[in-house]
Amino acid sequence: MEEEVVSKGTAVVACTAMTLSYVAILYAPTLILRLPRPPSFNSFMIRRFVCAAISSIVSLLICALILPIRRKEASVLLGVYGIQVDHIWQAVVFPVFLTSLMYAGSLVLKSLVLVESWRDNVNHSEGVSLECIKIIIQKLIASIVSVTSNVLAWRNFVVAPLTEELVFRACMIPLLLCGGFKPYTVIYLCPIFFSLGHLIAPLAAHMFCNFMGLPVLFSRRNGMVSIAFVAGMVGFLSLLFPMTRPDLYNYRSNNCKCWHGYCSWS
């Protein structure tokens, strides 16, 4: 197989089309799909979830039609999109751990808030008691119920990370690699397409980032937050390349120039 099995122009046009279709169907479903206006905010968000799912499925199909995939087994098709069973725990744990280093200050601050809340409950109950533990458990359950019943939480932690990773990474990376772009070029191109979609409008790490928000750089209440942030950034920069080596996530990367396995698709 030649290194460039899809022309660069085709790969770029396909990625641009997927970006525009994702944004268009997500932000203008009433106009594009001729749907009536939603009666409530929850209905509006659920409609957007469905639209995002439709756009993702269309992108997956387009990607499968353009790429030179001659074997149609499920494992091969899923492998094209970076979904594979081998090394799955590394693919979940390593990116989340690496990303969490950037949020070391935020995590320390949240931990301090939890400790203070625990102390307040203990002091209010005059020591650790069954009643104190009961109150904490009730608050935890109420918090979980509040999150799981919140349509915005589903958008931020499930639908957005899943559909965006499918379209802007799972579909675009193999297209760009097959177009002859170098791996490091692809690393920079995918965020450009992602940014294009969001100017107009690894999955577990994406969810984690959405949950944490922006990293906390400092806190006037405690200097440990700033120290943790600096230590986390040093750790992130030190481990970035060692923890993103292709051989950590793919058995087949040894003889593959592209790191993604497309050399063996045929």
Our separate counts of H helices and E strands in the chain read: 13, 0
pLDDT at position 56, please? Answer: 92
Residue 7 neighbours by CB under 8 Å, 6+ apart:
179
Give whole-number Cα distances, 191 to 115, 156, 164, 171, 251, in Å: 38, 18, 11, 13, 26
Q: How far apart are CA 19 and CA 45, in angstroms?
A: 20
Q: Which of 35-39, 187-191, 204-208 has the lowest mean pLDDT?
A: 204-208
pLDDT in tens, 122-161: 666 655 567 767 777 888 888 888 888 899 889 888 898 8
pLDDT at position 201, please? Answer: 46
- Beta-strand runs (E) in the chain: none
pLDDT at position 203, please? Answer: 66
Token pair for residue 106? 């935020």
**pLDDT level of residue 240 (50, 70, 90 thresholds):** confident
Across 27-31, 127-131, 154-158, 202-206, the highest mean pLDDT is recorded for: 154-158
- Helix or strand or coil: residue 72? coil
**pLDDT level of residue 247 (50, 70, 90 thresholds):** low
Token pair for residue 257? 């120039």
Per-residue pLDDT at 199 exceeds 70 = no
Q: pLDDT above 90 covers what percent of the chain?
A: 7
pLDDT in tens, 32-43: 667 777 788 888
What's the chain's average pLDDT?
78
